[in-house]
Amino acid sequence: MEFFVLLSSIAGMTGSRGQANYAMANTFQDAFARSMAVDGRHCISLNLGSIMSVGLAAERNLTQVLQRDGFVGIPKDEFFAILDWACDPVNPAGRDPATAQLITGLAGAQKLAPEHFRGVYWTSKPMFRPLIRLNAASGERYEVVDEPKIQNDFAAQMAHAKDEAGARETALMALVDRLADLLAVPKVDIDSKRTMMAFGIDSLIGLELRQWIWKTLQAEISVLEIMQSESVERLSWTVAKQSKLNNS
């Protein structure tokens, strides 16, 4: 073969919460490409993120969710250009194990505000430590414009709710606060009348939200209930009703 291109994923580099099998499969592709290159055969593994404007992420409006985790994606034209480069039979990168893997779609250490970059789950991995230092060195270019973060003890508020209305209000405030964190948007952008799907919440984030609800409010809510809830407000009613902290 003149060339061999593997469409891997950046999950092979960063991991993918709740999808260890998926991350492992992509890591294998990356290792396989390097092994082929060692033998002198042209092989390149492309660690792809989302492709902007097309594909599942674009169709489900998951851009903000992905950016929260440091996945910025690449334009469609850039993806085609990368394919042209990878499929070039005389490209020396395909026969060098040091260059047989190309990573795309990760947020640059010099492009994200330090507070955001350090909060991304994959940047805590040891191999990304140099990026943390690079990000910190460029931190003076950023002006913090995020709304002040107020730590609320929602568990205590739920336990001291005087009636059902108070419990529901606490649950709603807690859900709005958590969704704003998960989506990396101001709380004012969370419309409690909208469904969870309308915010681009997928099953993985639904699982994360389920675990947080149990840990914070001690309410046993299934991922299916979260995903199929009529609105954030309706979900808060269910949480208030199921919470073991609610004595009202």
Judge whether residue 82 has pLDDT over 60.
Answer: yes
Same domain, 101 and 193: no
pLDDT at 116 over 80: no
Report the range of poorest mean pLDDT among 18-22, 23-27, 82-86.
18-22
The pLDDT confidence band at residue 16, using thresholds 50, 70 and 90, is confident
- Residue 146 banded pLDDT, cuts 50, 70, 90: very low
Q: How far is CA 59 from CA 52, 62, 121, 224, in A?
A: 10, 8, 25, 21
State the chain's mean pLDDT as an integer.
Answer: 82
Give the confidence band of 147 by pLDDT, cuts at 50, 70, 90. very low
| Domain span holding position 138 | 109-145
- Number of domains within the chain: 3
Distance separating alpha carbons of residues 88 and 177, to the nearest angstrom: 49
Q: pLDDT per residue over 175-212, tens digit each?
A: 999 888 777 677 888 899 998 888 777 777 788 889 99
| % of the chain residues with pLDDT over 70 | 82
178 and 205 in a common domain: yes
Q: Are 114 and 100 in a shared domain?
A: no
Does residue 248 fall inside a structural domain?
A: no
The predicted model gives 51-61 an average pLDDT of 70
Residue 12 lies in a domain: yes
Q: Are 213 and 236 in contact (CB under 8 A)?
A: no
Q: Which of 72, 50, 58, 60 is nearest to 195 (CA)?
A: 60
What are the CB-based long-range contacts (under 8 Å, 24+) for 13-18?
13/47, 13/103, 13/106, 13/122, 14/70, 14/106, 14/121, 14/122, 14/125, 15/121, 15/122, 15/125, 17/121, 17/204, 17/208, 18/204, 18/207
Residues 84 and 119 in one domain: no
Check whether residue 25 and residue 90 sit in a common domain: yes
Same domain, 185 and 224: yes
pTM of the full structure:
0.53
pLDDT in tens, 97-113: 989 999 888 776 666 67
What pLDDT sits at residue 169?
A: 93
